[in-house]
Amino acid sequence: MIRVEKLRKAYPTVVAVDGVSFEISAGETFGLLGPNGAGKTTAVRMLVGVLRPDAGLVEIADGFNPTDADARRLIGTAPQQLSLYDMLTGRENLVFFGRIYGISGRKLRDRVNWALDFAGLTDRAADRVKTYSGGMQRRLNIAVALLHDPKILIFDEPTVGVDPQSRNRIFDNIEKLKAEGRTIVYITHYMEEAQRLCDRVAIMDHGKILALDTVDALIAEHGGMSAVTAELERPPEDPDILPEPLDGASLRFDTETPLEDVGRLSAAGVKFLTLKIDRPDLETVFLTLTGRRLRD
């Protein structure tokens, strides 16, 4: 559905995208994960034809260039910067953008009503967008991208600055779109969002893709071991059964098989007052690959 090959974009002081390549299958939710300034948004701008690459290519569907009209009809984009008119109502914004997409008449009315319902904004449709909360504006921004019923959806940081209720609504809506078989490109610097929503994730930093795979495969390859932290009821009679020496009554050790190790200790008579297992996640993967956390 989407093919990106050796994509490059440089500015006078920085190479924003440096030889990026990947392919996205039809119906896949593909995550582009990385900190602010990693090059994600620049890559997306080239993906939709807004920005011309210095080198490389982007193909949409059956070999379309993203600047082709046929390709643009396939794509719906919710940009990181809100593309809404504050002085218009929610309905008026949708009608305006629907007409830009070439929709009119009864079809436009039906699509606008559908979009308002999808975004949970039917009861606020007649209110000016400037009165909306940040979360409501984000949901409307996404609804605009869906008006022309595109097969490919690109969401660039769709939950920035939103409240928890709106964030959950956005997650639920994206999962519905995924279930319908849409191809989704999800750009974020929040690893928990990518872990929940994406089939595959590309981790990007300094304009390059550092790793690309399923979430589970990335964690298995780059996540390292789980950390077990516990408070014991009392030291065991044979301290050699412990994987690490006690610090008072506290035990901490790293392991690839935490449940098995805890079970072995319990079977050997070790009594736990508290027990915590920290498993590696995408943030662990990112830290392993880059040496710094996602939200730097």
pLDDT per residue as tens digits for the range 183-199: 999 998 888 899 999 99
Query: In what side-by-side order are the strands of the sheet with 14-24?
Result: 14-24, 2-11, 55-60
The tokens describing 89, both together, are 């109502």
> Could you tell me the strand order of the sheet in which 208-214 lies?
75-78, 152-156, 183-188, 29-33, 200-205, 208-214
Q: Which DSSP letter does residue 24 get? A: E
Q: What is the pTM of this model?
A: 0.85
Question: Residue 282's closest CA among 13, 7, 14, 33?
Answer: 33
- The predicted-structure confidence for 161-187, as pLDDT tens digits, reads as follows 888 988 999 999 999 999 999 999 999
Q: What is the DSSP letter of 234?
A: S
User: Could you give the 3-state DSSP secondary structure of residue 214?
Assistant: strand
Q: What is the pLDDT of residue 292?
A: 60
For 101, what's the count of Cα atoms within 13 Å in the CB-facing half-sphere?
A: 27
CA distances, 263 to each of 210, 260, 270, 272, 277 (Å): 36, 5, 10, 11, 13
Task: Identify which of 30, 26, 4, 27 has the alpha carbon closest to the alpha carbon of residue 17.
Answer: 4
pLDDT at 81 over 50: yes
**pLDDT score of 294:** 46
Per-residue H/E/C for 50-94: CCCCCEEEEEECCCECCCCHHHHHHEEEECCCCCCCCCCEHHHHH
Tell me the mean pLDDT in the region 154-159: 93
